[in-house]
Amino acid sequence: MTNTVRLKAIRAAAERIQGIVHRTPLIDVSEKAQCPLMLKCENLQVAGAFKIRGAYNAIVQLTHECPGRGVITYSSGNHAQAVAYAARQLQIPAVVVMPETAPRIKVNGARSYGAEVLFEGVTSIARRERAEAEAQARGLMIIPPFDHPEIIAGQGTVGVEILEDCDQVSTVYVPIGGGGLIAGVGAAVKQMQPGVRVVGVEPEGGAAMCASITTGKPVTLERVQSVADGLLPVRPGDLTFAHVTEFVDDVITVKDEEIIQAVKWLMITAKLVVEPSGAATAAAVLFASGGARLAHQGMTVAVLSGGNITHELLVSLFAETDRSSCE
């Protein structure tokens, strides 16, 4: 059986990343939301997303073992930027493999931190295979985007901060792509306060974790499509799936229309710029047709996982909601 990450490892990660990452704010928007709700603002994190936590935690340990050796990763965007940023801090070269459809803001972000950017296909599997080939040919160390214990431990520091900053948490909503964030947050929360519920959120068009839970093992989706580009791995990791099985109470899905509503609400009402992937949790709490907003009691925390969104996409999403309201 796969070993899951323990709280000791998450606390050790918190010490390693201190001074590199931001301790992001936990903002109370209960009055605006008309329900008990706080937002964990990883959209305000270094490189614009939570990914720097796991990336730095993993890379700093590997570079101690193999000084000067470069790193490579495969990512739809946010992990690519995090690896690039961490590598620059540690003064080592970084290569990132991104999909041909990667948002320009995420490509430019990775390049601005000094990474070499390669493009490969449109699926997470295609990116991983290219990264593995490049790593072997060029002697680079692979930094996986989610399915690695040190990545999960780093992401788990989000959960530690939530419980340290609020002692009345009832439920934590976490977006799911490959599962690294919810694996870490779930592990931290359940080992610190087992009574707190942990709920994962996926887009309907990329619900690989839901399908895997139903099947009882990680499965690969034939097709994924959603406005939430950061939540579209076609398969969860074996290790992240094991964490979800052990630590997560429920996994739900949201529609793209609900995600778009959440992006707009967060900007207009909460004054926060959040990308669609990061807004999935707010969509679940505030707009999901299943009534997630009314299904919980006590203080709910929604993790806003990232804020890397172009102004062009923001404009198009606002236009989309305006059209919908007129129909």
Give the integer Cα–Cα distance in Å for 188 and 153: 9
Dihedrals phi, psi of 289, to nearest 5 degrees: -65, -20
Give the integer Cα–Cα distance in Å for 308 and 304: 11
- Which residue do the tokens 């398969």 mark? 235
Beta bridge partners of 302: 39, 173
Are the CB atoms for 279 and 266 separated by under 8 Å? yes
- Which residue do the tokens 């925390």 mark? 301
Give the integer Cα–Cα distance in Å for 144 and 180: 10
> What 3-state class would DSSP assign to 281?
helix
Give the integer Cα–Cα distance in Å for 280 and 229: 11
Give the integer Cα–Cα distance in Å for 292 and 296: 7
Residue from 40, 51, 106, 190 carrying the catalytic annotation: 51
Give the integer Cα–Cα distance in Å for 108 and 270: 27
Residue from 217, 255, 305, 325 carrying the catalytic annotation: 305
Tokens of 144: 């996986």
DSSP state of 235: S
Taking alpha carbons only, the member of 22, 59, 62 closest to residue 43 is 22
Tokens of 62: 């590997």
76 is catalytic: no
> What 3-state class would DSSP assign to 204?
helix
51 is catalytic: yes
Catalytic residues: 51, 305
